[in-house]
Amino acid sequence: MVVVDALDQLGGQMSVLYPEKPVFDVAGFPRVRAQDLVDSLVEQAAPAEPTYLLGHDAVELEQFDDGVAVTTDRGVRIRAGALLITGGMGRFTPRPLPAGGDYAGRGLRYAVPRPAELTGRDVLIVGGGDSAVDWALCLEPLAASVTLVHRRDAFRAHERSVTELRASSVRLLTPFEVHDVRGDERVAEVDVSGPDGVQTLRVDEIVAALGFKADLAALSSWGIGMSRRHIAVDRSMRTTLPRVFAAGDITDFEGKVRLISVGFGEAALAVNNLVPLVRPDLPVVPGHSSDAA
C-alpha cells in the first residue's frame, strides 16, 4: 500500500491548519485534539506497513485492465490494482488578505498550527468562518488580547462556537473590514473600516482566516466525473473510472455530509468494495478486524 500526499507531513488540514483544535464528531471520543487523532490514525495504520510518499503531487493517471498507475510530479510511478482518492479539498492555498501586502511571515499569517507562539501578543483575526472563530477561542486564554474583524454581523461558523465566542472576552468588530496594514519590519498597526468610519488598532499579529483555494487541476485532467468541484461517487464509493474509488471531503453524492466521522465510513466502504478487484478470492466483506487480531 502506497500513500501519496502533496503535504510534507501526514494529517492534512488537521495537522497543518489546526493541530490543537478539539474534534467532537468522532465516535467514541467525546473530545480529541486534532493532532492526537492524526497520531492515533498513523499508529493504527502502521501494522499494514504503508509506504508514504510525502511532498508528492499525483499528476498523471494510467489505466489498465488489471489496475492503474499513478505518476507524481517528482517522477515516481506507482502501479497498483486500484486507486482510492482521499484528497480532501485538493491542494489548498490560503486566500490572501488584500491589504496585507508583503507582511506574510512578518506578523501576518494564515494558520495557527502552534498557538503557544502567540502567547502574550495582541492578535487580530480576520474572518467569520469556523477557522476564524476556532482560532479566536483557542487564543483567548493565551494572547494578551484577541480582536476578531468580520465584514458581516452574521458568522458562518457553527452555532455553538459562535455562542461561545460572543460569551468570551474576544472583541468583536462587525461589520468591519481591514483597510490598511502598517509597520516597519513587522505588522504594528491596522486600520479597520466600519459603520462609524476608520479605527486604528495596535496589533502584533494578524491571522487572516479567509478560506482557501482548492487546486484540483490534476484530477480534472484524468477524465473523472466531477460534481460541483468534487468527485462524483456511487453508493460503493466508485467513481466514473474503473478501479478508481474516492472517499472523504473530496466526494459528492446526494445527502453528502462533510464530517470526519462520515469520511471514515466512506473510506471503509471504498476499501471493502475495491478489495475484490485486487484480490478476486476475497468477498466484499472479508470479515471483522477483531477476527484477525
How far is the CA of 74 from the CAs of 92, 154, 200, 251, in angstroms?
A: 19, 44, 47, 26
Is 116 known to sit in a ligand binding site? no
Is 18 known to sit in a ligand binding site? yes
Decide if 2-92+212-292 and 96-208 have a common fold. Answer: yes
Asked whether the beta carbons of 16 and 111 are under 8 A apart, the reply is yes
Asked whether the beta carbons of 21 and 33 are under 8 A apart, the reply is yes
C-alpha–C-alpha distance, residues 57 and 79, integer Å:
15
Is 110 known to sit in a ligand binding site? no
Is 249 known to sit in a ligand binding site? yes
CATH fold label, 96-208: FAD/NAD(P)-binding domain (3.50.50)
C-alpha–C-alpha distance, residues 82 and 271, integer Å:
10
How many H-runs (helices) and E-runs (strands) does the chain carry? 6, 22
Contacting residues for 104 by C-beta, under 8 A, at least 6 apart: 96, 110
What pLDDT digit, counting tens, does each position of 29-57 carry? 999 999 999 999 999 999 999 999 999 99
Is 73 known to sit in a ligand binding site? no
Is 196 known to sit in a ligand binding site? no
What's residue 284's pLDDT? 84
CATH fold label, 2-92+212-292: FAD/NAD(P)-binding domain (3.50.50)
Domain locations along the chain: 2-92+212-292, 96-208
φ/ψ (deg, to 5) at 255 = 85, 10
C-alpha–C-alpha distance, residues 81 and 234, integer Å:
20
What pLDDT digit, counting tens, does each position of 131-189 carry? 899 999 999 999 999 999 999 999 999 899 999 999 999 999 999 999 999 999 999 99
What's residue 92's pLDDT? 75
Is 264 known to sit in a ligand binding site? no
